[in-house]
Amino acid sequence: MNNKLHKTSKHLFVIDINMAFQTDALVARKYKIIERIGNGKFGFVYKGVNITSTEPVALKFEDKGTVFKLLKRETTILNYLYNHKCRNIPCVYWFGQYDEYMGTVMPFYDCSLHEYCKLKTISVNKLNILIVKCVQILESIHMNMVIHRDIKPHNFMVKNGDIFLIDFGLATFYLTEDKLHVPNVTSEHITGTPRYISHHIHTGCTPSRRDDLISLGYIYIYIYAKELPWDSVMTDITISTLTDESHIMHSKNQQRMILKTHDQLIPVCKQINECIENYFLLCNAYDYVDDPHYNSLCSLFISKS
């Protein structure tokens, strides 16, 4: 994707949407906007309330003119997954047009895993239980031919002691209508968040199931150590004139790629525990089209919890 398109679309959208949405505005005659709580990839996220049931909800809006229709993609995939009995994902309450924007209404969650980790210390036992639950969530969407492609702590939400995976704007089907795996086509631009994408994505590979799982392993390291080995990488202007950090040849991504290689990562995992070391040994052994053995990955942590 062209990052300049991202910036241009988002900048125009910020101007328009601040003018369009006011506190107490009513969407679909049922959902009242309370306050803006965050930015999406091409729009904004608001906290609201169902005026009939008083249930808190999240409302997301996207300019109809946005080049990348992420909100429509997300809604389509979420409805598909929910109809196929995936439950640790958002249920779409409403999707449609509101003024000059497309909008959707979903459940409101207490906080993200990223926020939760800053507020509370998670023991190794709880971390192991958490990672098992996350693997099971990934298995539930993977078995329905969907990969998420943006696994990070900000996209796991906590509510009533349970964990949910959100933000399916980059999600896609990894099988064709003929049940064939989509080909591994080399790309110059990464899909996902540079900090959490797998080593394979840094090399230009098309994301697959193994990459969702590898990104989840990085989350484990982050929660345990409060940082990732590649957090301190800096742009080297002497070797790169690229300003677009979505490009695989950007100097930061080149450094991240090296630090995420098997030889660099396993010594880091050894300093943490055997669970995450063996997790990466399994994940790194998967080829692009392989069907991961989710039970084996879960068993690494269950026996230690």
Tell me the catalytic residues.
Answer: 150
Residues near 180 by beta carbon (within 8 Å), at least 6 away in sequence: none
Q: How far apart are CA 71 and CA 64, in angstroms?
A: 10
Residues near 292 by beta carbon (within 8 Å), at least 6 away in sequence: 139, 142, 209, 210, 213, 283, 286
Instruction: Report the SS3 class of residue 50.
Output: strand
HSE, side-chain direction, 13 A CA sphere, residue 120:
10
187: its two tokens: 């790309």
Q: Are 1 and 149 in contact (CB under 8 A)?
A: no
Q: Which residues pair with 48 in a beta bridge?
A: 33, 57
Q: Are 228 and 195 in contact (CB under 8 A)?
A: yes
Tell me the C-alpha to C-alpha distance, in Å, between residue 219 and each of 19, 154, 224, 248. Answer: 37, 10, 8, 21
Q: Which residue spans within the chain are E strands per DSSP?
A: 26-27, 31-39, 43-50, 56-63, 94-98, 101-107, 111-112, 146-147, 156-159, 162-165, 172-173
Instruction: Report the SS3 class of residue 69.
Output: coil
One-letter-per-residue 3-state SS of 89-125: CCCCCEEEEECCEEEEEEECCCEEHHHHHHHCCCCHH
